[in-house]
Amino acid sequence: MKVMVTSSSSLPGSAVLRELEHRGIPCLGVDAPEFDVTKDAETRRLVAENAPDVIIHCIPYTNMDKAESEPAECAGANGFGALTMARAANDVGAKLVLLSTAQVFPGTAERPNGINDPYGPRNIYGMSMVQAEDAVRSLMTRYYVVRTGPLFGGGKDAVRTALRASQDNRELRLAGDRIGNPTYAADLAKFLCSLITTNAYGIWHARNEGSYSPAEFAALVCKKAGRTGRIVSLPDTEMPPHARRTMDCRLAAELPPGFPPFSSVEDALERCLAEVTY
């Protein structure tokens, strides 16, 4: 089995590549500018040249706030990009994994969002992800759409942000009324690398157990790291101008039969702090 990972320098992409290498699975990471999913012919040619058995497609445009002023760019990279990847996967007979998000939901159900809940995005980024999911589901039969929570475990994530603010004794002002499931990228990568060996096609929700607001998670980071954090919890409406968010981003844990549930957010965070240098 040979696996191609797109947006390989992103947090999910780099974590997946590490896990594939750890398992001894032949893999190739591709990223912009050499690999531009908005260029259909070029992308399909590059995929054909490498002929992967599986493509793990990490969405390239993830800046939710910037997307509000760049709707065409966001839709092109995410929606049209997923369409291109689905076509490219079909060209070579590859399975396709699409990483998605709870931002496709309105978050008004007052319970965790289920895999079959109706779409209702509140921002441009969420709309682009609905387009991405629809493209894959309409063109393919051998696909996995995996929705997950806000990722941590590398890069400019919430863990690093909280620790740096604590180290500098800076006040960190974060939303306290938006909730989701913070998810350790390494745990997600392990799940994905196991999922692609199965025929459990369809939509799945993969995230660590536990729900937190951004302010609550930052406070937990400081607590687990033994630091004193100056965390100020604010209503989302009092945060600096940004894209409208889905306020309840909780995902119901829905995994294929036989897959164990993810560990708690606290356990994942402890492992993250022990394994990653911040």
Domain membership flag for residue 274: no
CATH number at residue 69: 3.40.50.720
Number of domains in the chain: 1
pLDDT given for residue 210 in this prediction: 98
Residue 277, pLDDT score: 63
State how far the alpha carbon of 169 is from the alpha carbons of 19, 144, 164, 173, in Å. Answer: 35, 43, 8, 13
User: For the residues 96-112, what does the mean pLDDT come to?
Assistant: 95
Cβ burial of 49 (10 Å; 0-12, 13-18, 19+) is exposed
Range(s) of the domain holding residue 190: 3-155+181-209+252-258
pTM, two decimals, is 0.96
Tokens of 100: 């998605």
Choosing from 61, 125, 144, 212, the catalytic residue is 125
Is 125 an active-site residue?
yes
Q: What value does the mean pLDDT take over residues 214-237?
A: 94
Q: Does residue 22 belong to any structural domain of this protein?
A: yes
Minimal CA–CA distance to 73: which of 114, 32, 25, 116? 32
Within-domain flag for 246:
no
Q: Which two tokens stand for residue 147?
A: 């929705």
Q: Does residue 78 lie within any of the structural domains? A: yes
C-beta separation of 10 from 17 below 8 A: no
pLDDT of residue 278: 57
Query: Residues 230-243: pLDDT tens digits?
Result: 999 999 988 888 88
Checking if the pLDDT of 77 tops 60, the result is yes
Which residues fall within 8 angstroms of residue 88, CB to CB, at 6 or more apart? 43, 44, 47, 48, 55, 94
In a domain, 171, yes or no: no
DSSP collapsed to 3 states, 35-96: CCCCCHHHHHHHHHHHCCCEEEECCCCCCHHHHCCCHHHHHHHHHHHHHHHHHHHHHHCCEE
Does residue 152 contact residue 180 with C-beta atoms inside 8 Å? no
Check residue 136 and give its pLDDT. Answer: 98
pLDDT band at 109 (very low <50, low <70, confident <90, very high): confident
Question: Residue 156: phi, psi to the nearest 5?
Answer: -90, 65
At residue 178, φ and ψ (nearest 5 deg) are -105, 130
Residue 12 lies in a domain: yes
The pLDDT value given to residue 58: 97
Q: What are phi and psi of 100, to 5 degrees?
A: -130, -165
* 147-160 pLDDT, tens digit each: 999 999 988 899 99
Residue 263 lies in a domain: no
Q: Indicate whether 220 belongs to any domain.
A: no
